[in-house]
Structure 1
């Protein structure tokens, strides 16, 4: 009997809630987020209902929430449809306030004051009792809460205002189940001045309207508010492709002011009348970055979105955002990504960025070719690189890298097996850009000649070029790259050889300077006085002023016990600039060796093909195992001009 009575009372309450809601909904009563949203629609004390665009029902009784005005316990779980939000942490009047120290899903009667306790959870501050706002008093209505949580990204902050996680761009008041409230939630306190609650106009028929315009002190703030909340939007874009396609709303006027393309689209002779515009070729994140820039002048790009944002900025003719993207790429350019960015720069017609990428590749050729991005470039980009005279790498190493690219290209083309015939086919005109004549005959014989990529006729032609005079005309260029001619040269700094030189883990070091640009590829070192022996060695070239290690290697070398020097090579050539001090270092592990004496401070090396190079040797201060200008290790420097 009592149960039936309670049930009937609840049904009466729900009916009253539904009827009251229908009578109280007015078009002038708006929230900060949408023109059609109603706060506290039913007007019953403690009701947590808020109607949203697309809602199928505004009746509290049809939702899994307590009846209007009923007290519930803290931390009670409320399951809500996607089209509604019914989770209020406090309801008060203009004459009082409710302080909530730890937001929970609970409904509080309008007359209540005090504090609720419980575990923090997602929260929304909605219901403001309509009748108490019709004639607001001088007092202010506010709700305190210490912890802000975005219901989409779980991060703290204010929706599109940027204080929550950077990847979240959701708004609280949307029919979709995501977002934050950028206006009701600020600095841990929702604060509503009575002057911001308007009433008594014929349009709102005495209902309270949130005057958001009064809180914005600049055009930028007002536009940022429109961007963050979607207020008064008049156009929608269907951006991207499924399954990541998104519907994004905007304002025609703002887009037209910032983009000539949008201006023509909305206001030109062939202006569209569509209310939803499909943009399948643009990523949603990139389009969002474009809108943010047009509304607020803010640039939000990252490594993952910069290229798609650059494409979008070009598509809609927003040069300021284009420049921001290019500047970002310049700041983050490195040998590891130089080839990837070069491909994109050529695709988007950014000649300045392309030139910077090529310059980076020239200065760090070996490192750039070793990066994963090299094998992903297209054939045209590969040819553009191979045409350059300024690559800082030996041609045999360049050929090896090109073979790696050809293998990857075979797999991209219908998983073709990477045979030598198929590699030659995919290389096409790029093969003619390899400068085989720049190799030594040994490099060619051990590598390119045995690769199978060259035809027999071409191999014979190149061997004749290497071995006969006058040299025959061939189909491959012999123009030097980066002044690396193919002929090694060696400078020796000692006049006499002595024995014995010991090693205890300290580096032998000598300082040197040259009068013209060269590329050092290795050192000649003395070997053991005790017969054939293997040494472990570390070699380095250090820029003296900056102490930067420009080149290093950790090989082993075999000596035969004679006074001959033994070659220890760097992985790649090290560029040596004129009139700059460098330190040559060698750390040997092994038995006592020969050493040089009667050293020369100045040595001029001359060759018919490259002219003169003058070396000046000086003492390298610090621990150097006794090596000096007069005697010690590192008798030879091997170089190209």
Structure 2
């Protein structure tokens, strides 16, 4: 053994010493065989350090039946994810750079009971949700009972349905997820044909996957039997190796879920050239028919159905005829096929497009704002927008350079922006008394990139109490503070407001600077009222469309939105 290098002298912090031991393997007393064949790697560890961080490792090394394998097989965690998990244990560092990596690391953190790491991974997943990965995130959240993440995924699916359905990743989701999506009452689709076309693509993808699995399976029955009976999570990995070529982390965290997914694929693929009835199997496993039954065929026109679903092999000739009869006549004495939806009501549209958009309530401000009358619109109509020094930017993803030019010009020349109000209608009035300091906040998410300018809040109602605190019949001196936070709680902008205002009005509070808001990300607006008196709080709508921009309020934990009825409007432009 060589002379010691005195490496400790160079490490001034505990995490530096831990990093050295992890990187060099010095004094290691255990090893792990990580990954599934043929990609496996042996990684050295230190029992004491691992047991200090994880009760699972503690039981593994110092419990009543300590682990005696050397190396210890870890077949259900990806190599990179396990290395990141060890880095967190040894140094406290958390490296998250992609959605897939966060899923993998969160799986390992759950397995080895590292709650802080789980929290950081789910927070990253929360902030990195898009239509292309919302379904996979939903499956991950469902697998690990992350209810808040599940809810947000469903909101993204509901508000961006066509994007979700048309993305190639939808053809690789679990069948249960397809059924869940088709069961939602709120979907942003033009018609049920969007769902049926997605089902057709999903069916073809399942058939191709099944054929691919057959072509790559061993011809020797003994080999196949040996693979089926081999223990450990690697069984499901081998049987469904071709899942998602764009992501290496797709092979896990669901070593447990992959077996279910491959089973779904084998049991649900419809025959492409036959018209056989597709009845659920006796064991009640989900089939593609379970998803087809959720489609509201009765909301289609006879022509739509005849030119599409009626010609598809996903329905039998008898089923197609029966459905068509019910479309043509609401009083048809021919019952719908067993299990098929009898609903004639279209899905609720969350964004102003599609046949039901005209049924959406347009919320309007009922009282003029004391700041500027042109910033609000009267009952049933809007005031003409203020002219811009440049053309209004188009509605697309890369609007910020143009919008930034407009904002810069506006700041330097004192112009006015085209202000749009996302107005939250008051469903129930519940006034609130402020005795000293009154906090209110609301979380929200939008489906398009916008520029947030400010918020609108109500002023006080006159009373004997506020008459004795500086108020008069004509108004009072308001004093409040407003701020905007991102999903991590970082402050993006703020403002202090002090001015004399009339009673029972809606007050525009503009932030110190406009803030660029990204779609499908969570933000939080907070207001602190510092004047004693009664405020008309109320219960407000949680979903509002404003000029084709859809807002979802009250996202996440219930504690994140407090007295949110005091925030009546979001003022924005785009």
TM-score by length of 1: 0.43
User: Per chain length, whose mean CA-contact separation is higher, i.e. which structure has more relative contact order (CA < 8 Å, sep 6+)?
Assistant: 2
The structure whose residues are more often helix, as a share, is 2
TM-score with structure 2 setting the length = 0.48
Which structure is larger by alpha-carbon Rg, 1 or 2? 1
